[in-house]
Amino acid sequence: MSFHKRIIRRTCVQEKRFERELCHIYVTCISEGEADRYKKCFQNYAEKTGHVDAYCETKIVELREGIDDSIKSILKRENMTECGWKLFKDYKVDDIAFNAFIQQYTNSTIDEKCFDEEIKNIFEKFAQGAKSYCFPEFIGNHFDKLERGDLDASDSHMAACVFKYLISIKIIDPKLHNVSEEVYTNENCEAEFAEWRESFPSVFFPFAFNFYDGIFGLGTAKVVECELQKTKEEKLNEQMFSCRILAFLDQSDAQLQESRINFINLNKKYLKIQLQCLDKIFECAVE
């Protein structure tokens, strides 16, 4: 069992550098005259003050349809067209991708074809996260692979402290789960407690924004900040750890099944938090 701390140190300055580097990758393939018209179109659309003519309306529709088609093709391949599309629509992920293109194109020249590749790349990752929502057994199978029985001796102190901490914050009920006091009573865990009150160790999730410098070409610092804050407020990592660590005890089949269901539902909740925070990509971009 692994106990580790999430390390997130991103700044808007670093992300601005990332965005500039990304813009050098995008090379427009349309004529100079049309490029100016194309850019003006999206500037007017973004400002909502300029005239949006028929040409511009057509380009906007084409862009939206292109984004949607890219998303749906990935979801179709993963056999979750209906479920995955509803999930992404509920959290307006397609709109966020569209607005990310608009924001970048009004500030620099970005090739739509290149951006389409970015869309596909990101939604390949999103699709892996969506599996935990659309196919619960994807996460359930991970839970089933956790070893049963006694913890490894090298982890005994840390495991005891985790039990002690989760019991102290009422995440684990020792009587309900038959956790003997001998497991944790005599452990000195003050150093660990001080650290965990500030930031509890993160656990397995199928997709995490902190692994990526950018989403749709924009920085993720504010997204990660939002995600960490909501996760902390919900004590999501603590609840996830309780499911995992209880699996190492000699639990009844009913108790294991309860932990398994909780494990699946908490992963779904985490994915929803991530999607709720996704629109934060725009905050860092305007600082």
| pLDDT at res. 146 | 67
Task: Enter the tokens of residue 196.
Answer: 């965990």
- Confidence check: pLDDT of 58 > 50: yes
Lowest mean pLDDT across 100-104, 148-152, 164-168, 203-207:
148-152
| pLDDT at res. 108 | 64
Lowest mean pLDDT across 65-74, 80-89, 151-160, 246-255:
151-160
Give the CA radius of gyration of the chain: 23
Q: In this predicted model, what pLDDT tens digit does every residue of 82-120 receive, in sequence order?
A: 999 999 999 999 999 888 888 877 766 566 667 677 778
- Confidence check: pLDDT of 19 > 60: no
Lowest mean pLDDT across 100-109, 182-191, 251-260, 271-280:
100-109
Mean pLDDT computed over 4-30:
36
C-alpha distances out from residue 132 to 61, 75, 128, 135, 241, Å? 31, 13, 8, 6, 17
- Confidence check: pLDDT of 139 > 90: no
What percentage of the chain carries pLDDT values higher than 90? 25
What CA–CA distance (Å, rounded) separates 154 from 182? 17
Lowest mean pLDDT across 3-12, 125-134, 236-245, 246-255:
3-12
| pLDDT at res. 18 | 38
Looking at residue 177, what DSSP letter applies?
T
Distance of CA 52 to the CA centre of its chain: 35
What CA–CA distance (Å, rounded) separates 279 from 118? 17
Q: In this predicted model, what pLDDT tens digit does every residue of 198-251 receive, in sequence order?
A: 888 876 555 555 556 677 778 888 888 898 899 999 999 999 889 888 877 777
Mean pLDDT computed over 28-49:
72
The predicted model scores a pTM of 0.77
| pLDDT at res. 147 | 53
Q: In this predicted model, what pLDDT tens digit does every residue of 258-270 receive, in sequence order?
A: 989 999 999 899 9
Is residue 88 within 8 A of residue 78, CB to CB? The reply is no
pLDDT band at 32 (very low <50, low <70, confident <90, very high): low
How is 74-88 classified by DSSP, letter by letter? Answer: HHHHTT-HHHHHHHH
Beta bridge partners of 219: 214
